């Protein structure tokens, strides 16, 4: 028996673990006692992560669809078939008729090679990954106002030194990021600090915060009213002269225009739209503004809206006017949802070169072009959320998708199904069969996190080593090998001796990684970017002294409603998210002990709404929108009246049959957090005596 040190493959916390290996199989997981984030703990998902690795459902052989059935083939046949058809599609429809989707569950090295494959081999800038539908609003919004679109403070700042007040917005961190919650946030709450929770649901953040002894103020806002509420909090802070004038003068710009824009956003006005009592808005504003430092942490409840970028900018005004950016225990801290979504975002965006380097930066562009020996295709504004319309409009004809199940995770899945059905050619590279893979022409079996070397970047920008414990099953291969072998087959020789060789190329081209070596990561349990040189200690806390862009921009933001609001026919607002025991599309967790504990989809509804509709707890009910309907069990829960909530993990009962595919024009994020819905009781047949 041996134990291999690595990083958890689930959420963005980046917990340290050991994989227990016996006779070439991973048989268990142990927490890493001295890990700087997880501190010897794991959540139920992480503790049972070994469950999916050796699952018999793993993809083990390349497969080509022949006469409607998937047939196992050799790698050579698969490569030849892919090369032939990608070239055919581009010859028939043009270079930009194909797109590459990389994986937020894969390593940095895999994502780097994937975007290089798109730009070098396919000659297109049509590339993206699933941050487009979770935190692209964070990157776009914060990059504009601060200069960097990532979590500003290290995780330890939640407890050491800890804030004097904490605002949690659109995040059930107790379920979605349980180790940050239990190891770092709860200790601060036990000191009795104010905890302001902005969420339509009375989640564990509220109830466990109360049990911890925090001064909990819950603002159960209506989904889609974020901007109104954030503006009203800013309005009251300034009205009560609680803003930090010296900080604003030295470190911010556009204050006068921003303050003038808040005139109509009184707490009373905000109450009419958000449903939050005006007095509670005033109380929240004062609790946060009087704290020094005050911290804001948030999740996809803020971002997944058709005005997500504007919501982020409106929220970012709060830590700027109170002087809480660049301070220990303060900041604005996005909790990223997947193990390497921060890292994939660092590398794979059509808007920028890897490392957020702009195409307009001629020195950066030349550095990549010289290293790759090509002229890099320029950006064309082609986000993943727009690809479905591009397919239906006969502009996109081929896709190569790594580790993403868009047929389950994107809004309005019926539209996604139609688009996938229309594609001329689809390649899927994954570890399990999924809904998207059903439409594939070719399926390639990839390696799991336990079967490869590389790096993940966690939510606090910490780059950490992932280590190989066992070989992939059957004929499955590491994704860097697959991409390099296919690139070579297509006439662009690409080869790396190992994952570290990929990383070494990356850090020569990407300044934020310049000083991070595998050796230094080993010695320091990872390093936080930016880390430009090998004698640089890394940057746990951003924006100290000044913002990345110089001065922060205070933004005058006007409220816009969701693309679809409740009406007589569909009187509820449906919102969705993650549950405690599941992870995203469920392909991994539903094959583990933790996922089995939450076996089916459901809908949360308030007690008042349930009584009015004659729905009892656990009774089947029909949830419908303009796009589809599902029958699921009702869970009577502490949620704002007129709002319902559903998880998004169940392929056989996909919540995204119901959700909207409207997206933010600035960042392309899909509005998964607000659409109009109807709930009806389903009568349960009673057997005759």
Res. 208: pLDDT tops 70: yes
562: in domain: no
Res. 63: pLDDT tops 60: yes
Strands (E), 467-569: 527-528, 552-553
Res. 308: pLDDT tops 60: yes
Res. 194: pLDDT tops 60: yes
Residues 6+ apart with CB under 8 A from 160: none
- Write down the pLDDT at residue 684: 66
pLDDT (average), residues 627-636: 96
DSSP collapsed to 3 states, 366-410 = HHHHHHHCCCCCCCCCCCHHHHHHHHHCCCCCEEEEECCCHHHHC
Res. 689: pLDDT tops 70: no
- Write down the pLDDT at residue 72: 98
CA gap 237, 273 in Å, rounded: 20
Last residue of a domain, one of 306, 334, 362: 334
Per-residue model confidence as pLDDT tens digits over 348-398? 999 999 999 999 999 999 999 999 999 998 887 678 888 999 999 999 999
pLDDT (average), residues 213-238: 98
198: in domain: yes
Residue found under tokens 């809004």: 411
CA gap 528, 150 in Å, rounded: 11
Answer yes or no: do 351 and 495 share one domain: yes
Res. 345: pLDDT tops 90: yes
Res. 686: pLDDT tops 70: no
Answer yes or no: do 594 and 632 share one domain: yes
pLDDT (average), residues 68-79: 98
Three-class SS state of 685: coil
Question: For the domain that residue 381 is a member of, what is the CATH number?
Answer: 3.40.50.740
Question: For the domain that residue 195 is a member of, what is the CATH number?
Answer: 3.40.228.10
- Write down the pLDDT at residue 597: 78
pLDDT (average), residues 457-474: 98
Last residue of a domain, one of 271, 305, 334: 334
Answer yes or no: do 405 and 496 share one domain: yes
Per-residue model confidence as pLDDT tens digits over 507-549? 999 999 999 999 999 999 999 999 999 999 999 999 999 999 9
Per-residue model confidence as pLDDT tens digits over 442-453? 999 999 999 999
Answer yes or no: do 260 and 223 share one domain: yes
Phi-psi region of 34 (alpha: psi -120 to 50; beta: other; left: phi over 0): alpha
- Write down the pLDDT at residue 537: 98
- Write down the pLDDT at residue 583: 66
460 vs 46, 343, 528, 682, CA distance in Å? 19, 10, 7, 45
Query: Model's pTM, two decimal places?
Result: 0.96
- Write down the pLDDT at residue 131: 81
How does residue 132 score in pLDDT terms, banded at 50, 70 and 90? Answer: confident
Answer yes or no: do 362 and 468 share one domain: yes
Question: For the domain that residue 590 is a member of, what is the CATH number?
Answer: 2.40.40.20
- Write down the pLDDT at residue 80: 98
Phi-psi region of 32 (alpha: psi -120 to 50; beta: other; left: phi over 0): beta
Whole-number percent of the chain with pLDDT over 90 = 89
Answer yes or no: do 98 and 35 share one domain: no
Last residue of a domain, one of 300, 334, 368: 334
Residue 361 host element (H or E): none
Mean pLDDT, the chain, whole residue set: 95
- Write down the pLDDT at residue 381: 62
pLDDT (average), residues 630-647: 96
Answer yes or no: do 316 and 348 share one domain: no
Res. 590: pLDDT tops 80: no
Answer yes or no: do 129 and 162 share one domain: no
Res. 648: pLDDT tops 90: no
CA gap 455, 468 in Å, rounded: 11
- Write down the pLDDT at residue 215: 98
Answer yes or no: do 16 and 84 share one domain: no
Per-residue model confidence as pLDDT tens digits over 134-147? 788 999 999 999 99
Residues 6+ apart with CB under 8 A from 414: 627, 628, 657
Answer yes or no: do 241 and 108 share one domain: no
Into how many domains does the chain fold?
Answer: 4
544: in domain: no
537: in domain: no
- Write down the pLDDT at residue 685: 54
270 vs 171, 287, 300, CA distance in Å? 21, 18, 21
Res. 409: pLDDT tops 90: no
> What DSSP line would sit under 308-332, residue for residue?
HHHHHHHHHHHHHHTT-TTSTT-SE
Q: Give φ, ψ of 501 to 5 degrees.
A: -65, -40
Res. 238: pLDDT tops 70: yes
- Write down the pLDDT at residue 579: 78
How does residue 333 score in pLDDT terms, banded at 50, 70 and 90? Answer: very high
Question: For the domain that residue 13 is a member of, what is the CATH number?
Answer: 2.20.25.90
Three-class SS state of 235: helix
615 vs 202, 609, 611, 685, CA distance in Å? 20, 8, 6, 15
Q: Assess contact for 391 and 406: CB atoms under 8 A.
A: no
Range of the domain at 15: 2-52
CA gap 159, 156 in Å, rounded: 6
């Amino acid at each position: 028996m041996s134990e291999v040190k690595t990083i958890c493959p689930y959420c963005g916390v980046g917990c340290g673990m050991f994989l227990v290996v016996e006779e070439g199989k991973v048989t268990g997981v142990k927490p890493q006692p001295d890990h700087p984030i997880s501190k010897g703990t794991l959540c139920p998902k992480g503790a049972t992560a070994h469950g999916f690795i050796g699952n018999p459902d793993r993809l083990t052989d390349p497969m080509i669809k022949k006469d409607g059935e998937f047939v196992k083939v050799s790698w050579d046949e698969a490569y030849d078939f892919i090369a032939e058809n990608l070239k055919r599609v581009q010859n028939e429809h043009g270079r930009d008729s194909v797109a590459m989707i990389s994986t937020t569950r894969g390593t940095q090295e895999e994502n780097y090679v994937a975007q290089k494959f798109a730009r070098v081999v396919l000659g297109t800038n049509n590339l993206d990954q699933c941050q487009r539908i979770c935190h692209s609003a964070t990157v776009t919004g914060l990059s504009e106002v601060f200069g960097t679109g990532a979590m500003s403070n290290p995780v330890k700042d939640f407890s050491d030194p800890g804030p004097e007040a904490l605002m949690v917005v659109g995040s059930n961190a107790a379920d979605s990021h349980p180790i940050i919650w239990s190891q770092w946030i709860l200790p601060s709450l036990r000191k009795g600090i104010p905890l302001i929770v902005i969420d339509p649901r009375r989640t564990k953040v509220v109830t466990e915060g109360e049990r911890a002894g925090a001064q909990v103020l819950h603002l159960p806002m209506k989904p889609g009213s974020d901007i109104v509420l954030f503006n009203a909090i800013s309005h009251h802070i300034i009205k009560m002269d609680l803003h930090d004038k010296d900080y604003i003068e030295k470190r911010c710009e556009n204050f006068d225009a921003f303050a003038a824009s808040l005139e109509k956003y009184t707490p009373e006005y905000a109450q009419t739209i958000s449903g939050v009592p005006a007095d509670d808005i005033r109380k929240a504003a004062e609790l946060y503004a009087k704290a020094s430092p005050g911290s804001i942490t948030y999740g996809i409840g803020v971002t997944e809206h058709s005005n997500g970028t504007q919501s982020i900018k409106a929220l970012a005004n709060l830590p700027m006017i109170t002087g809480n950016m660049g301070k220990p225990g303060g900041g604005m801290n996005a909790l990223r949802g997947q193990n390497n979504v921060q890292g994939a975002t660092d590398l794979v965006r059509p808007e920028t070169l890897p490392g957020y380097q702009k195409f307009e930066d001629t020195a950066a562009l030349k550095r990549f072009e010289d290293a790759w020996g090509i002229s890099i295709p320029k950006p064309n504004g082609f986000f993943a959320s727009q690809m479905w319309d591009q397919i239906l409009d006969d502009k996109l004809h081929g896709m190569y998708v790594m580790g993403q199940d868009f047929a389950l995770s994107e809004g309005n899945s019926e539209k996604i199904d139609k688009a996938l059905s229309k594609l001329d050619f689809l390649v899927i590279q994954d570890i399990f069969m999924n809904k998207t893979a059903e439409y594939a022409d070719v399926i390639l079996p990839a390696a799991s996190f336990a079967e490869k070397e590389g790096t993940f970047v966690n939510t606090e920008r910490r780059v950490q080593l992932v280590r190989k414990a066992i070989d992939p099953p059957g004929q499955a291969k590491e994704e860097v090998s697959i991409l390099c072998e296919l690139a070579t087959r297509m006439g662009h020789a690409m080869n790396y001796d190992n994952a570290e060789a990929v990383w070494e190329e990356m850090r020569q081209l990407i300044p934020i990684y310049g000083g991070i070596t595998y050796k230094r990561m080993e010695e320091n349990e990872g390093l936080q970017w930016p880390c430009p040189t090998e004698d640089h200690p890394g940057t746990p806390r951003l924006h100290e002294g000044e913002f990345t862009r110089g001065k922060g921009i205070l933004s005058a933001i006007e409220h816009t409603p969701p693309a679809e609001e409740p009406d007589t026919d569909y009187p509820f607002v449906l919102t969705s998210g993650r549950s405690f025991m599941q992870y995203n599309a469920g392909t991994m967790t539903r094959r583990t002990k933790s996922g089995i504990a939450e076996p089916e989809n459901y809908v949360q509804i308030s007690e008042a709404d349930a009584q009015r509709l004659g729905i009892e707890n656990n009774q089947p009910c029909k949830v419908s929108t303009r796009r589809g309907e599902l029958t699921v069990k009702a869970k009577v829960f502490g949620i704002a009246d007129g709002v319902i909530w559903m998880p998004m993990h169940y392929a056989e009962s996909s919540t995204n049959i119901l959700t909207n595919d409207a997206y933010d024009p600035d960042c392309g994020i899909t509005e998964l957090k607000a659409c109009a819905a109807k709930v009806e009781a389903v009568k349960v047949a009673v057997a005759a005596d």
